């Protein structure tokens, strides 16, 4: 990660890694909403990717990545900022929901967006890439993909 300071004062980072954005972004994982899939079909002619066709793929990915929306408000190891956010929402009578998270044995360090220090976040780096390598895949860095062929 390459930090830089800009004016007005703001923290900006630039990152490159094997595993891409899944390594440095949060671990929230959402299914593509039905309305978006319908829009893609209607406005862009994308066929075969409706919710019914994708549901089993969503379920497989969620299982592979240990996705669950686990409440954290009563867990002993939960990070303080999440607790304060929940308390603030409750004091304003705002409804809160737990984000489906791709994590396994999370230690609640709240470092998801800068890279999980424990490997709990199920980024591509710790989930799919090891499986691909074991199956014989090769990783090549700094590649530009111009065309993908499928059969």
46: in domain: no
For residue 25, the enclosing domain spans 2-29+65-129
pTM here is: 0.72
pLDDT in tens, 18-60: 888 888 888 888 999 999 999 999 999 999 999 999 999 999 9
Among left, alpha and beta (phi > 0; psi -120 to 50; other), residue 20 is left
CB-based contact 111:117 (threshold 8 Å): yes
- pLDDT(72) > 80: no
Residue 15 lies in a domain: yes
* pLDDT, position 117: 87
Q: Is residue 90 part of a domain?
A: yes
Q: Is 112 inside any structural domain?
A: yes
| Domains contained in the chain, number | 1
Segment 106-145, tens digit of pLDDT = 888 888 877 788 889 999 989 999 999 999 999 988 888 8
Which residues lie below 8 Å from residue 28, measured CB to CB, with a gap of 6+? 99, 100, 101, 102
């Amino acid at each position: 990660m390459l930090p830089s300071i800009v004016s007005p004062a703001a923290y900006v980072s630039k990152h490159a890694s094997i595993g891409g954005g899944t390594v440095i972004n949060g671990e929230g994982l959402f299914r593509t909403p039905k309305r978006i899939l319908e829009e893609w079909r209607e406005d862009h002619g994308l066929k075969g990717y409706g919710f019914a066709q994708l549901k089993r793929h969503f379920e497989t990915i969620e299982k592979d990545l240990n996705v669950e929306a686990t409440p954290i408000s009563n867990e002993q190891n939960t990070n303080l900022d999440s607790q304060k956010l929940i308390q603030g929402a409750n004091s304003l009578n705002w409804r809160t929901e737990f984000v489906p998270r791709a994590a396994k044995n999370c230690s609640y360090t709240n470092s998801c967006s800068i890279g999980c220090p424990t490997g709990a976040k199920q980024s591509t780096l710790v989930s799919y890439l090891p499986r691909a390598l074991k199956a014989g895949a090769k990783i090549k860095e700094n590649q530009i993909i111009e065309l993908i062929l499928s059969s």
